[in-house]
Structure 1
Amino acid sequence: MGNWTPPACWYEPESAADFRKHVEGEYDDIVNDPRQPSYAKSATGQFRDMYKDGKYKDYNLDKADEGNFWVSVQNPNRLDDPAAFTCSELPFWVENGDTPPVKNAVTPQVLAELAYNRLTLPDTKVTLAPKNVTKVNLPTWAWLDKATFKEVSVTAALDVAGLNISATTTAKPVSLKLEPGTADAETFPASGECQLNDDDSIGAPFAKGKAHETPPCGIKYLRSSGNGTYQLRATITWDVNWTGSGGAGGDLPDGTFGTTQDVTVQEIQSVNR
């Protein structure tokens, strides 16, 4: 949502047993594949030797309760972004309680940023009265009902070998901006920005007896749309914040999400006698 994106890559922990399974499985797949070139097999073998027989000795399985390997991960939504491959450190061991010595080591905030990108927001199509077909100089009421338009949350969590990190990102609608699709129109209020009501709704439904009232949120078209329609754009601004494990939390950039809908504006016909 919005114009902001989470990290392209990060580092996250993997238990010694899982790391061994991952490396050994990849090694077997490559060295036993006749289609793989010799340099690929050689490089895979050297990588495996580092953790099996070299620096770490059998993947540090004898220290499995004392720490984890930290490995780089690419954001699956940004694999075509060169930044996804800037987390280039080889897997490394971190003792429990120590801070990984790299930028973008997964934290509650990193998880919150990932959750931000997974928020699914409701359709912003507003309810209009008159519905989709209105008249020149007739105030058209617009609103969003609180029952179908409410805050949305996504939780991201990581639980590896006793390391529990989580974050919940929540988006709450705060305002609706109406853009009539033509300069020949007025908005209510004049800014076109309809704020959230105390009951979390936006605008107010039209009801019988309100025909001569000015809507708290709406549009008045000053010219007919002729044989076509105007493209009314409704954009919601969402206030986004997060809370995470260990009491962490904060704000994330506001998000905006909008859609357009067709509005037909007709002339009011009158007959002189």
Structure 2
Amino acid sequence: MLTARRSLVTAGALLSLIISAPAALADRGPGTECPPLVFDCDIHSGGNKPPKPEKPGGGGGGGGAGAGGSAKCMARDGSGGTFEVPCYDDHSGWFDASSSCYWQLLIPQPPAEDPVWSGRTPGDGAVYNGQCPGQPLAGGFRWFQNPPAGFGGGPNLEALAQEAVTKMRLLGADIGIAPKQGGTGTVGVPVWVWNGPSPQTTGPTSASATALGVTVTATATVQDVVWNFGNGTTVSCPFPGTPYSPAFGLTPPSKAGGQCGIAGYSRVGEYTVAATTTWAVHWVGGGQQGDLTTTRSSQAAVRIGELQVVGQ
């Protein structure tokens, strides 16, 4: 009867990511009508910088990304369903999603005459012990030419998810604002802001990355946008906001109406309006799944003056 002791396998696969910074997107400049007492306004898409290259386990482009502890391994049960299991177990080894089993290298290896080799010579591949949660009749001793998928940790799936995020070239808000950047608004007149739609500014958008035969697909959606109006006022608005229309007149934007902005500035001056977009990313691949967040920033400038009455 063959007996074997288990040992912890510490060798892991090394994943190297080569990430290039995305090119900046071209601005667009369609016009729009102005609110009363605001003499020029349009949609502004400037100030939206492409993200910095991301590093595995971290974020880039004006914000951080993290997925620590969020990876999940999913095993199959006999009825075709799935349930979560640890990706590594001290007693069972590394989880392989393709077989839905844990595999651990047998040390010492079985003798050459053991039937598990099926006529092969020890050293030609290796024998592993499998334990399959939810499948009591599966597993056991098995010969593999190469280590089972996931053995030793396989590729870094969270790093692959980060690479997929980089491929998306996510951006901060493509800021639309009334009054326009470079134009002049009026003290006490509402200021409207919104986000120009595109896969990179409003989502959702997806991308994939592959290493060592494992593909991870990530999908990003906007979770939140926080606007800082440069006067001490910060608001989180319904996304993506509503472009200003002359029909709104001097009515302040309302969150209940899916609008975003402030009732107006109380002082003359130049202000920087900054938008911070938080993207929620869900990734799936290699029998695992997880979640991370990353932020992107953009900004626009607005000048506020006083209403001048002719004759004064």
Q: Point out which structure has higher relative CO (alpha carbons under 8 A, 6+ apart).
A: 2
- Where structure 1 has 5 or more consecutive residues not aligned to the other structure, the ranges are 8-61, 68-92, 197-201
Structure 2 counterpart of 1:231: 272
Which amino acid in structure 2 is aligned with residue 156 of structure 1? A
User: What is the Cα deviation at residue 126 of structure 1?
Assistant: 0.9
Distance, in Å, in 2 between the alignment partners of 1:94 and 1:110 is 27
Structure 2 vs 1, CA of residues 147 and 158 (structure 1 numbering), >3 Å: closer, same or farther? closer
1:262 and 2:301 matched: yes
Q: Secondary structure at the match of 1:112?
A: helix
Q: Secondary structure at the match of 1:195?
A: coil
Instruction: From 194, 202, 208, give the equivalent of 2:246.
Output: 208
Which amino acid in structure 2 is aligned with residue 251 of structure 1? D
Structure 1 counterpart of 2:235: 192
User: What is the Cα deviation at residue 100 of structure 1?
Assistant: 3.3
Structure 2 counterpart of 1:199: none
Distance, in Å, in 1 between the alignment partners of 2:271 and 2:283 is 38
- Percentage of pairs with the same residue: 26
Contact kept, 8 Å, 1:125 with 1:261, in 2: the verdict is no
Structure 1 counterpart of 2:203: 150
Structure 1 counterpart of 2:171: 122
Distance, in Å, in 1 between the alignment partners of 2:145 and 2:173 is 46
User: What is the Cα deviation at residue 151 of structure 1?
Assistant: 2.4
Matches within 5 A, 1:29-40: none
Aligned pairs, number: 172
1:249 and 2:310 matched: no
TM-score for both structures, normalised by structure 2? 0.47
User: What is the Cα deviation at residue 264 of structure 1?
Assistant: 0.9
Structure 1 counterpart of 2:260: 217
Which amino acid in structure 2 is aligned with residue 152 of structure 1? T
Distance, in Å, in 2 between the alignment partners of 1:234 and 1:110 is 27
Q: Secondary structure at the match of 1:121?
A: coil
Listed one character per residue, the Cα deviations across residues 203-254 of structure 1 (whole Å, up to 9, x for unaligned) are 11111220132212013211111xxx211111111111111143x21211x2
Contact kept, 8 Å, 2:161 with 2:209, in 1: the verdict is yes
Structure 2 vs 1, CA of residues 212 and 182 (structure 1 numbering), >3 Å: closer, same or farther? closer
Structure 2 counterpart of 1:165: 214
TM-score for both structures, normalised by structure 1? 0.53
Structure 2 vs 1, CA of residues 98 and 141 (structure 1 numbering), >3 Å: closer, same or farther? closer
Which amino acid in structure 1 is aligned with residue 155 of structure 2? V
Q: Secondary structure at the match of 2:308?
A: coil
**Aligned-residue RMSD, C-alpha:** 3.3
Which amino acid in structure 1 is aligned with residue 265 of structure 2? Y
Determine which structure has the larger helix proportion and give its number: 1
Structure 2 vs 1, CA of residues 150 and 210 (structure 1 numbering), >3 Å: closer, same or farther? same
Structure 2 vs 1, CA of residues 137 and 250 (structure 1 numbering), >3 Å: closer, same or farther? same
1:3 and 2:64 matched: yes
